[in-house]
Amino acid sequence: MEYFVAKDSIVRQVWGNGDTILFIFAGSAAEFALNKAVDWLYFTRQLPNDPIGRLFSTVSYARQIIFSDKEGALKAINKITMIHNAVENQRGGKIPGWAYRDVLFMLIHYSIASFELLQRKLSSSEKQELYDVFYRLGQEMHIEELPGDYLHWLPVRERHLENDLARSAFTDDLYKQYKKHLGAFRFKIFIESQKLIVPEKVSRLLNLRKPSLLPPLLFVYKLSRKIDLNWLIKTAILPAKYRSEIKALDIIPG
């Protein structure tokens, strides 16, 4: 059976671990809020109305692409494209091409940053392998102007950060929604997590430049994985109504 992502791929290690996914979400949530095309995410109201639910929805699609056979992965990609096309038809306009690239670039950056924060440094070949998977995903979604390899992607990613991010009323409203749905304690952990992995431009725009309080807690968190109690910690930092989804985050244990 042919798979979109090889069974021994580093991408499966990254996206099969619930701890890593939570940090991917935290970092992406920061950039989503700053992206100049965030108004598209507000058009359907799905993101501000249920930001945590959107996390698990995104994870579900990513899992279908990364862990399914090639046919199943392509069906998931086509469904994502159809959803975007429907939103464009409702609004009567096109989502900018650079906005699609921004989202793909977020997934690449935070996949690497989160895995390296919680596990180990990735080799150059592993980073290239991860980039190749998302490059193929971008091609299947007909996203244009994607660099051919990881090294050429790095400066393009930096240009996107400089050109496509700005703090706006959408940013402030979305952070209010994050706090509303997470609660004060979980929101604090959410912010401290972002400090550890967002690029400097994001940190500056969101005023996240103070040192994070999480590093000592990460030691306890990593220890909890060894005795299989990290799901309890995930339950503590995410709302109880998502308990079943939280337990399902781990496909490959950390």
Q: Does residue 95 register a pLDDT over 60?
A: yes
Per-residue confidence (pLDDT) for residue 245, from 0 to 100: 67
Per-residue confidence (pLDDT) for residue 236, from 0 to 100: 61
Q: Is 212 left (phi over 0), alpha (psi -120 to 50) or beta?
A: beta
Kindly state whether residue 153 falls inside one of the protein's structural domains: yes
Kindly state whether residue 75 falls inside one of the protein's structural domains: yes
Kindly state whether residue 3 falls inside one of the protein's structural domains: no
User: The tokens 């989502």 sit on which residue?
Assistant: 95
Per-residue confidence (pLDDT) for residue 63, from 0 to 100: 81
Kindly state whether residue 24 falls inside one of the protein's structural domains: yes
Q: Is 183 left (phi over 0), alpha (psi -120 to 50) or beta?
A: left
The domain tally of the chain equals: 1
Per-residue confidence (pLDDT) for residue 153, from 0 to 100: 98
The pLDDT tens digits of the residues spanning 169-228 come to 999 999 999 999 888 988 998 899 899 999 999 999 999 988 888 777 676 666 656 555
Domain that holds residue 221: 10-247
Q: What is the average pLDDT across 144-161?
A: 96
Per-residue confidence (pLDDT) for residue 222, from 0 to 100: 65
Band of residue 18 on the pLDDT scale cut at 50, 70, 90? confident
Contact of 111 with 155, CB cutoff 8 Å: no
Closest CA to 156 of 97, 206, 114: 97
**237 or 138, higher pLDDT:** 138
Kindly state whether residue 1 falls inside one of the protein's structural domains: no
Per-residue confidence (pLDDT) for residue 227, from 0 to 100: 53
Alpha helices in the chain (DSSP H): 10-15, 18-34, 39-43, 46-49, 51-67, 70-91, 97-118, 124-140, 150-164, 169-182, 184-197, 200-205, 215-226, 230-237, 243-247
Model pTM score = 0.89
Per-chain mean pLDDT for the chain: 86
Q: Does residue 164 register a pLDDT over 90?
A: yes
Band of residue 2 on the pLDDT scale cut at 50, 70, 90? confident
**94 or 254, higher pLDDT:** 94
Q: In this structure, what DSSP letter does residue 241 have?
A: G
What are the φ/ψ torsions at residue 252 (nearest 5 degrees)?
-115, 115
Per-residue confidence (pLDDT) for residue 254, from 0 to 100: 47
Kindly state whether residue 252 falls inside one of the protein's structural domains: no
**156 or 244, higher pLDDT:** 156
The pLDDT tens digits of the residues spanning 23-48 come to 898 899 999 899 999 888 787 777 78
Q: Does residue 240 register a pLDDT over 60?
A: yes
Kindly state whether residue 82 falls inside one of the protein's structural domains: yes
Kindly state whether residue 4 falls inside one of the protein's structural domains: no
Q: What is the average pLDDT across 121-139?
A: 96
Share of the chain above pLDDT 90, in %: 52
